[in-house]
Amino acid sequence: MVTDPQTTYADNGQIWIRFARYFSQVANMVFYAPIFRDYFWRNLEEFRADNVQYIELRSSLEGVFDLDGTVHDEEFGLQLYKNVTDEFVKAFPDFSGAKIIRSGSRNSSADKILEEVKTAMYLHKKYPNFMIGYDLVGNEAYFNPLLFYIEALLYPSMQNPPYELPYFFHAGETNWQGTSTDDNLADALLLNATRIGHGYALIKHPKLRHLVRERNIPVEVNPISNQVLHLVSDPRNHPMTALMADNFPIVVSSDDCATWEALPLSHDYYMAFMDLSGQDADLTFLKQLAINSIKYSQMEQHEKKRAMKLWQAKWDTFIKQIILEYLLDCDYNGSKCDL
């Protein structure tokens, strides 16, 4: 914890170093199998307490260990997530569930990524409604661009018949035009990404913007992350303000919220509402964001329908509560209410 983060971590490169260290600091602690179960259960609890009813989580799936030295494989990790999710949904039927995106690291070798893609195909085939696809994470500016892994990433579509492994690439998490991070955005789209993580650079690429709109590819926007990692200081300059105003398919996400001790999602919603919208934005803005998050999820149609129904009931209750509070407030103050 530092009191002057702007000075201590003066730019995106410096804060990334500290940010990356966080993960190695906590990894050993949470990857011990019994703890990992509790950890993920608590994760779901906190999301639910934050009024989030469904999540899609990126995870490496690797590295869960037991005290006898066993390091479990990816399928073990996936099953652990699945079991905990199933139990949680049973315990809390108002929670719609979770799905997993298997995420590799941009500093791996091309061979390693090819193995991961193959495993991801296997897991996606075996658990099609839980393991929903593949992504690559890590500092785009310091590690390899998507192009470096092109053979691995094209592997599924080169099979006979082609295998459709959905991609959820982090891409274009930069404000620096013409860099390889910037190019990642083009490659993510050329690789038929199902959804784009960050896509911060999208605003500067008219052709890619056109493509995103035409294919209706949702972009996951992470307002707090972008500020913490020095992409933007005053979030009113966030490029997604323009794309949101232009009705692009945007969902608000929270990236690595635990790292900066933000709430699971509502702090990011708050920032989106205060800064990424206009001064004249109202409840309809928040409502649209919530609807988008279901609409652009990877739930199946019947799951979406059920989730929307659940959400609509919660929304209606929320609105009724607000109105009630307002009425009580009027009564208490003896003031006139214009409802």
Catalytic residues, by residue number, are 173, 198
- As measured in angstroms, the least distance from the Cβ of 7 to a copy of itself is 10
Question: Which lies closer to a copy of itself via its Cβ, residue 215 or residue 236?
Answer: 236
| Cα–Cα distance, 288 to 302 (Å, whole number) | 20
Instruction: Please report, as ranges, the residues that interact with a copy of itself according to CB under 8 A.
Output: 175-179, 182, 203-206, 230-234, 236-239, 241-242, 245-247, 277-281
Question: Scanning the structure block, which residue is given the tokens 């696809």?
Answer: 133
Question: Scanning the structure block, which residue is given the tokens 């050993």?
Answer: 28
Dihedral pair phi/psi, residue 199, rounded to 5°: 55, 25
Contact 96, 303 (CB under 8 A): yes
Question: Which lies closer to a copy of itself via its Cβ, residue 72 or residue 230?
Answer: 230
Please report the beta strands in the chain, taking only residues with DSSP state E, as ranges in sequence order: 54-59, 97-105, 131-137, 170-171, 196-198, 219-221, 250-252
Question: Which lies closer to a copy of itself via its Cβ, residue 141 or residue 294?
Answer: 141
| Cα–Cα distance, 117 to 136 (Å, whole number) | 10
Contact 106, 151 (CB under 8 A): no
Q: Answer whether the bond into residue 161 is a cis peptide, omega within 30°.
A: yes
- As measured in angstroms, the least distance from the Cβ of 234 to a copy of itself is 6
- As measured in angstroms, the least distance from the Cβ of 6 to a copy of itself is 9
- As measured in angstroms, the least distance from the Cβ of 337 to a copy of itself is 26
Helix (H, G, I), strand (E, B) or coil at 32: strand
Angle, to 10 degrees, between the axis of helix 74-91 and the axis of helix 110-126? 40
| Cα–Cα distance, 55 to 37 (Å, whole number) | 17
